[in-house]
Chains A and B, each alone.
Chain A
């Protein structure tokens, strides 16, 4: 037993020494895709994200500098404790080198802490809260696809500019909803609008009629939906039922994915303005990716989260291959140095606070007549340049920036 312990110590020391020389740990690069695979965010992330990561690995060639790449996946059930436990076990027991996706802001914040503690890279695609690149930023975290600031700047600003000056929020009661409400309120006020009030509902509610009635009673011109997934689709569907739009109020779905539009149907969703980091039908490159993705996913087109996972994994693998090191801090540092050029982010870059800055798109949902076929859902109204879409670095409260 004693010898065993000694050997273990020696091995550990030896590993420590080699890690300092920069090498791929365990001779494998292990990618852990952690997300909601059974709950309300399972379609917008879920198995699609795992498939997107697989596609990235295949396209990269299956190995990094001769070392094989493996993918693990797990369901965090939208619970921060479950998520951080899986992350810890993956890193400690399975030797996972990078965790990707992690929708549900509360879970992403918990995982970010664990990953940072254990020098493991964390590439966020599904979560939205700007806390990930502000107070809770970490040297090992990259916030890749979108965030609540970009959503607010996109949809929020567009709606105010069109004359929607007074707002009432229906907000999911957790980190993401709070963050989205806060960021959108700021944008509304900056642009001369006012916020009349808000109501917070538990995550994964089914009945929104009470909240909608309160929003209706507030007399606000715009009802901002600071929620996501089935919470958003149910809100919109029921708003339609209660004649809210016909009554003269406007809905602003601050975060909506193409899978949500698909679930609602164009009859109900038509005319909504929303902000997205990716639309599959933009150009030949995005269509090529979407076609391959759809082939593997029973015809489903990728959401921005799926596309972001692909791009993020690809960029990570490039960085690791460049420095031949899969330590979290080192890899993320290299990711920040390398520019991103792919179908998802033609001119992307990662800033010091971990924010991946790329163009966002303001889109409007087509009417059933306009739509040419399956998944033909958006008219792109405007491209929001990355530097405008994301919070300026100078305003970031991230400790990595102040240094």
Chain B
């Protein structure tokens, strides 16, 4: 068997693929964060909690209404998006005129409250959520056994990520959004309802988190702590990619997933800190992140 740095090649390829799968979750979540930061200038600490809410929404739909995975993949993000819109309208929108810090503190508090509510109601052990029957089982790739569901996760998240990127970077709507970030007053003067645009942007970005939550539900237990465990890593990824950069968050999300996979192969004990080491190195060399621009 061929070996690379003392690790059999098939194992290494397997780890790379697994890294890519984890990276898909990172990319989806960090993209949402980047959109919110880029458009609303808010550091959305509630993102992890909303991801968890997405997973719970899918679980609740299944257990109380008998609505399965596929409809939940659409419905749960809509519910989370609606929740996001309510949060934005009633709370966040009032804070745009103040320092970043207020938005950060508010969303951090929201995250604690949302997590606390779910924890009280459902405990921390997590709830089982079955893999949809169409995607159960897997296929042998020669170097590893790939569960079909995980393959689907990569495809779904890459499509959604690049779709989002395309809308924001390549369409007229995206152009309005980007213009509103640069100069709100001017865009408003053209007769565009900027506050509504901000609200919908927030709703959409947290719906992305909800979508990631539904994707995650069959892999991990549906667990009130699932967002909390992930959010810090995702923040580091956003920083590595460059705050507010869509492409940066997608690329570094996938990239960090792969690096983590490799760390787990060569030195598993360090797998949870690898991302922060990379963040430190990136910030030392490129203070604005890999794809970031200095903000004015």
Contact = CB atoms under 8 A, between A and B. Distances in A.
B226 interface: yes
Contact of B125 (A43, A199, A205, A211): A43
A229 to B, nearest CB: 7
18 contacts: A38-B119, A39-B225, A46-B124, A201-B271, A207-B22, A209-B150, A210-B261, A210-B271, A213-B15, A230-B126, A230-B225, A233-B125, A234-B221, A237-B219, A241-B147, A241-B149, A259-B125, A268-B128
B124 A200 contact: no
Of listed B18, B19, B22, B145, residue having the most chain A CB within 10 A:
B145
B125 A217 contact: no
Interface of B: 8, 10-11, 14-15, 18-19, 21-22, 119, 123-128, 130-131, 137-138, 144-145, 147, 149-150, 219-221, 223, 225-226, 229-230, 261, 264-265, 268-269, 271-272
A202 B150 CA distance: 23
Contact of A211 (B225, B226, B229, B264): B264
Given A39-B124, A39-B225, A200 B18 contact: no
Nearest to A213: B14
Given A210-B15, A241-B219, A230 B268 contact: no
A241 to B, nearest CB: 5
Contacts of B150: 209, 241
Interface of A: 38-40, 42-44, 46, 173, 199-202, 204-207, 209-211, 213-214, 216-217, 229-230, 233-234, 237-238, 241-243, 247, 259-260, 262-265, 267-268, 300
A207 B272 CA distance: 11
Contact of A233 (B15, B19, B221, B264): B221
Contact of A210 (B18, B126, B138, B269): B18
Contact of A263 (B19, B221, B271): B221
Given A217-B8, A241-B131, A209 B124 contact: no
B264 A230 contact: no
Contacts of B18: 207, 209-210, 213
Contacts of A38: 119, 124
B125 A262 contact: yes
Given A206-B230, A210-B264, A213-B11, A43 B124 contact: yes
Contacts of A267: 128, 130
Given A217-B11, A243-B138, A247-B145, A202 B272 contact: yes
Nearest to A257: B125
A-B pairs with lowest CB-CB distance, top 7: A263-B125, A210-B264, A265-B128, A202-B272, A43-B125, A42-B124, A43-B123
A230 B221 contact: yes
A267 B131 CA distance: 12
Given A40-B124, A206-B220, A213-B15, 5 more contacts: A173-B268, A199-B268, A202-B272, A211-B268, A237-B219
Contact of A173 (B15, B221, B269): B269
A201 B10 CA distance: 21
A202 B269 contact: yes
Contacts of A199: 264, 268
Nearest to B262: A210
Nearest to B18: A209
Contacts of B127: 263
A93 B150 CA distance: 53
Nearest to B124: A42
Contacts of B11: 213-214, 217
A206 B125 contact: no
Contacts of A209: 18, 21, 150
A204 B229 contact: yes
